[in-house]
Chains A and B, each alone.
Chain A
Amino acid sequence: MNKTQKGAWFSLAGALLFIILCIYLSVDMFIRQRLPNKNLVWVVAIFCVLVGGAGLIWTQRKQSPKEADSDERDKSIEKKAVLISFISVWVLLAAETLIPRFIVGLDGSIPVWMLAIINVAIFYVAMAVFYAAVLIQYGWRSRNGEN
């Protein structure tokens, strides 16, 4: 895998983890009506530092010292992925507008902090769409053309 693919895998995993965290917080605070565990902040912080650090080391390692960090094909793939991610943001914003209507009704209300969680989740979903689009264009795995 080249650096762009590694970065996409690592970032996709990170985005999905944060989406799961947003869902967990939403369920805990909105449905179960309780504050999340105080230790959760420390767990998330330590997890981010350890996994983030390991991930950064992994993504920076090259297949060979002279390998190009990124080339024209990588840029072309990222350009298309940005467009796909941009389109997904519009879909997510439409969903953000419509779904609460069906859950709490037109006259219902949601807490202000819930809006922050939803917007952060939309950001991470858009990022996940971007990195997934990058990986799909690469073909999920780099085939060894030597075989």
Chain B
Amino acid sequence: MAKIEFTNNIRRLRFDNNQMSQQDLAEKAACTRQTIIAIEQGKYNPSLALAFKIARAFGKSIEEVFPYNEDSTE
């Protein structure tokens, strides 16, 4: 089975939301700034609960924050 690469739009959404800092997003999502950094860099895939919290922090749906590209699977 091919490895699925998850992407996210967190960095763009942060800048679109009054240049929200990683620290501000971390506080809203109840996680640490290091976790937000790791997620942005694609080094960590958040759990469903954390993904929903991050999406809620932006007022967006989870698919808008973490787009799932069907083409990335084989």
Contact = CB atoms under 8 A, between A and B. Distances in A.
A64 B47 contact: no
A68 B31 CA distance: 5
B41 A71 contact: no
A73 to B, nearest CB: 4
B61 interface: no
Given A2-B32, A70-B32, A143 B50 contact: no
Given A72-B46, A72-B47, A66 B33 contact: no
A64 B33 CA distance: 10
Interface residues of A, number: 20
Interface size class of B (residues with CB under 8 A): 20 to 34
A30 to B, nearest CB: 44
Interface of A: 1-2, 4-5, 63-64, 66-68, 70-74, 138, 142-146
Contacts of A71: 30-32, 35, 50
25 contacts: A2-B33, A2-B34, A64-B23, A67-B23, A67-B32, A67-B33, A68-B26, A68-B27, A68-B31, A71-B31, A71-B32, A71-B35, A72-B31, A73-B31, A73-B32, A73-B34, A73-B44, A138-B34, A143-B37, A144-B37, A145-B36, A145-B40, A145-B41, A146-B21, A146-B22
